């Protein structure tokens, strides 16, 4: 398995720039870089520079992944850089981005359906609960937009890998894949987000495993709040996700994605208002057993805090982290995933 870094969130990423970031990735022993969008690498889609980035990744033996951005037409105004690339035409902007990424061999392209509105708190922090447009209408607009892009995706041998973001359920992603076709649509698996929709990370992985083309790997802890639960993201291995079961589901489905660590630092928390009737009413895919599993995982964490085996939420992140701490988040996560893969290999060898 190949484990790499997030080209937008890795420490000093903006300061280093794409090529120096690739070199830092190799220096630290990681396997590749997942740049969130191609415009993060070249805002003008400069073909010569993109080819140079690809060449340097190849020289260092690294995987190189890229993406596109917003695929929900109700969110495209929040990505004006895509429209700028298309000279005012968002579809043309996306088309040019697809052509630029596939020209350097990047064919599984990240996309997401909405933003997390950090100026808000509660339901309206998540675009699923917008008051100007219903979520089913957003999904339908997304489906139509993806069908507009499908001809160029097929022509270039590419797929858009939709992220399991906070606003969309895994069942909704599966339905989009069924409607658009798995020849044009796949999944970017981020298990820290599925819990916000009341989904168990292992069950969510099993639903999506055949379609996983890219990943954002990070762990979570859950703890009780009067409204339900709260989530905090952490390095893989510092939370409650069962990585042996997660990787087992992915590999059993025949998927072999790269595993990119999405590092975070600071208070990355989300409410999961399980007891809010409005939240419940707008969760048509909710499964009681999975919600109960999240409650069980919260108790596992809280028991661990009391026993001193897990760190309390307010104590996990240092207020002034060193570079070693920031980069250690990624290294520690990678070690956890490799250990889980080793367990699976040992179990497979025993069966043989």
Q: From residue 253, how far is each of 115, 207, 248, 249 by CA, in Å?
A: 30, 10, 9, 6
Beta strands in 62-132 (DSSP E): 63-65, 67-70, 108-112
CA–CA gap between residue 299 and residue 189 (Å, rounded): 25
Specify which residues 65 forms β-bridges with: 34
Q: The pTM is what?
A: 0.96
pLDDT of residue 267: 64
Residues 6+ apart with CB under 8 A from 54: 64, 104, 105
Low-confidence residues of the chain: pLDDT under 50: none
- For each of the domains in the chain, give its residue range(s) and CATH number, in order of start: 3-351 (3.20.20.150)
Which tens digit of pLDDT belongs to each residue from 33-92?
A: 999 999 999 999 999 999 999 999 999 999 999 999 999 999 999 999 999 999 999 999
> Which residue in this structure is represented by tokens 């762990």?
219
CA–CA gap between residue 318 and residue 139 (Å, rounded): 39
Axis crossing angle, helix 47-60 with helix 90-103, rounded to the nearest 10: 40
């Amino acid at each position: 398995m190949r484990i790499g870094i997030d080209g937008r969130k890795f420490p000093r990423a903006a300061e280093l720039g794409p090529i120096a970031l690739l070199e830092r990735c190799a220096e630290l022993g990681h396997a590749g870089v997942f740049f969130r969008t191609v415009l993060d690498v070249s805002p003008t889609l400069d073909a010569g520079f993109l080819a140079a980035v690809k060449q340097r990744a190849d020289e260092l033996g690294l995987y190189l992944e890229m993406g596109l951005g917003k695929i929900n037409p109700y969110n495209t105004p929040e990505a004006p850089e895509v429209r700028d690339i298309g000279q005012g035409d968002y579809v043309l902007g996306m088309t040019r981005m697809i052509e630029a990424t596939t020209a350097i061999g990047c064919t599984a392209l990240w996309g997401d359906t909405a933003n997390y509105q950090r100026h808000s708190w509660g339901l309206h922090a998540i675009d699923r609960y917008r008051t100007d447009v219903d979520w089913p209408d957003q999904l339908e607009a997304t489906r139509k937009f993806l069908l507009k892009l499908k001809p160029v995706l097929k022509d270039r041998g590419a797929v858009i890998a939709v992220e399991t973001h906070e606003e969309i359920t895994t069942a909704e992603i599966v339905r989009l894949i069924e409607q658009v076709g798995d020849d044009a649509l796949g999944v970017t698996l981020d298990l820290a987000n599925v819990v916000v929709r009341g989904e168990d990370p292992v069950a969510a992985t099993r639903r999506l495993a055949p379609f996983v083309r890219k990943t954002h790997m990070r762990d979570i802890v859950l703890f009780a709040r009067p409204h339900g639960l709260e989530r905090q993201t952490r390095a893989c291995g510092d939370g409650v996700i069962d990585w042996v079961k997660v990787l087992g589901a992915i590999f059993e489905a025949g998927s072999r994605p790269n595993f990119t660590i999405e590092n975070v630092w600071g208070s990355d928390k989300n409410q999961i208002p399980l007891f809010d009737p409005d939240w419940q009413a707008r969760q048509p895919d909710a499964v009681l057993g999975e919600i109960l599993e999240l409650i069980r995982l919260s108790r596992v964490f809280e028991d661990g805090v009391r026993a001193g085996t897990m760190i309390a939420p307010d104590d996990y992140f240092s207020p002034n982290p060193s570079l070693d701490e920031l980069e250690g988040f990624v290294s520690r996560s990678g070690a956890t995933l490799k250990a889980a893969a080793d367990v699976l290999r040992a179990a497979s060898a025993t069966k043989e």
